[in-house]
């Protein structure tokens, strides 16, 4: 089943889906296992697993620190692939990788896509690869069935959104505001106008991320977007209260 089809199936009877984010290897793969189990128990519909990179340009201080500490602990791409295969076998939800293009380039694009498909990964989010430079990337995504998920931003023009939609698969990740992850976003009239532009630009489901922290934030985008992405907040929660706090937090978001 394709990522888009699976997400649309999960939308039946729900106002909005939930996608969460973890950094693989932070604070350890053992804790990652506990956190993912808690997320699934809490009712998430999709999980975005970040392969750590030394210069994660789209990420704020919480996720940046997690990337750096995971790399310092010795996390390798092969470890992430093996972990992904384990998670997709254990949990009946779609899993994606998020990372930066240097990781894929160094690993080898064909090998990376083949290993993602073998591990059961449904999609990829790569913030620093523009479509003009991603010919082989998008070709391999189509050939392997691993959805290439692009990113819309408030600064994206209608023309740019159309170009991104042309190569998109699975869903569109809509950044809620300018800047990096982790800061609070404002879901005001400007946001509504931006989201309306996103909706007009694509027939794919829309996910909204950056700064989503609470039940109130989820309610603000319910009925306007198809999926809410919770990232830095769950990392903060695990750091402060441990993995056992994840399931009740996720369950309380809807």
d(CA 34, CA 23): 13
C-alpha distances out from residue 211 to 29, 176, 186, 229, Å: 25, 7, 8, 9
d(CA 104, CA 232): 23
SS3 120: coil
Domain extents in the chain: 3-251
Q: What is the mean pLDDT of residues 10-27?
A: 95
Q: Is residue 59 among the annotated active site residues?
A: yes
Q: Average pLDDT over the chain, rounded to whole?
A: 93
> Taking the C-alpha atoms of 75, 77, 78 and 80 in order, what is their torsion angle to the nearest 10 degrees?
70
> Taking the C-alpha atoms of 68, 74, 79 and 80 in order, what is their torsion angle to the nearest 10 degrees?
0
On the question of pLDDT at 127 being above 90, the answer is yes
Higher pLDDT, 39 or 182: 39
Q: Is residue 48 among the annotated active site residues?
A: yes
- Gyration radius of the chain over CA positions: 17
Of 152, 108, 144, 153, nearest to 124 by C-alpha is 144
Residue 124 forms beta bridges with which residues? 97, 148
CATH number of 3-251: 3.20.20.70
Active-site residue (options: 48, 169, 217, 226): 48
Quick one: pLDDT at residue 186? 61
d(CA 189, CA 168): 27
Confidence at 57, pLDDT banded by 50, 70, 90: confident
On the question of pLDDT at 104 being above 70, the answer is yes
Q: What is the pLDDT of residues 5-18, one digit of tens each?
A: 999 999 998 999 99
Active-site residue (options: 4, 34, 55, 59): 59
> Taking the C-alpha atoms of 135, 139, 140 and 146 in order, what is their torsion angle to the nearest 10 degrees?
110
Q: What is the pLDDT of residues 131-190, one digit of tens each?
A: 888 889 999 999 999 999 999 999 999 999 999 999 999 999 999 854 344 344 467 788
d(CA 64, CA 157): 28
Return the structure tokens found at 251: 């369950």
Is 214 in contact with 180 (CB distance < 8 Å)? Answer: no
Q: What angle do CA 158, 130, 106 make, to 5 degrees?
A: 165
């Amino acid at each position: 089943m394709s990522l888009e089809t699976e997400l649309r199936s999960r939308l039946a009877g729900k106002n909005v889906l939930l996608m969460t984010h973890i950094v693989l290897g932070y604070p350890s793969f053992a804790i990652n296992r506990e956190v993912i189990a808690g997320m699934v128990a809490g009712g998430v519909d999709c999980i975005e697993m970040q392969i750590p990179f030394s210069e994660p340009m789209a990420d704020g201080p919480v996720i940046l620190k997690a990337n750096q500490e995971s790399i310092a602990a010795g996390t390798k791409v092969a470890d992430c692939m093996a972990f992904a295969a384990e998670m997709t076998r254990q949990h009946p939800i779609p899993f994606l990788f998020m990372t930066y293009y240097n990781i894929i380039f160094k690993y080898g694009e064909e090998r990376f896509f083949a290993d993602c498909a073998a591990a059961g990964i449904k999609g990829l989010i790569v913030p620093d690869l523009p479509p003009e430079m991603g010919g082989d990337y998008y070709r391999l995504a189509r050939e392997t069935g691993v959805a290439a998920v692009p990113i819309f931003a408030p600064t994206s023009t209608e023309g740019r959104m159309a170009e991104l939609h042309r190569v998109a698969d699975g869903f569109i990740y809509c950044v809620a505001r300018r800047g990096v992850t982790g800061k609070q976003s404002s879901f005001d009239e400007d946001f509504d106008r931006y989201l309306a532009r996103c909706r007009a630009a694509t027939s794919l489901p829309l996910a909204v991320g950056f700064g989503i922290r609470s039940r109130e934030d989820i309610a603000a985008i319910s009925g306007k977007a198809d999926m809410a992405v919770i990232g830095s907040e769950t990392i903060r929660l695990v750091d402060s209260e441990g993995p056992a706090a994840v399931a009740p937090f996720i369950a309380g978001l809807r």
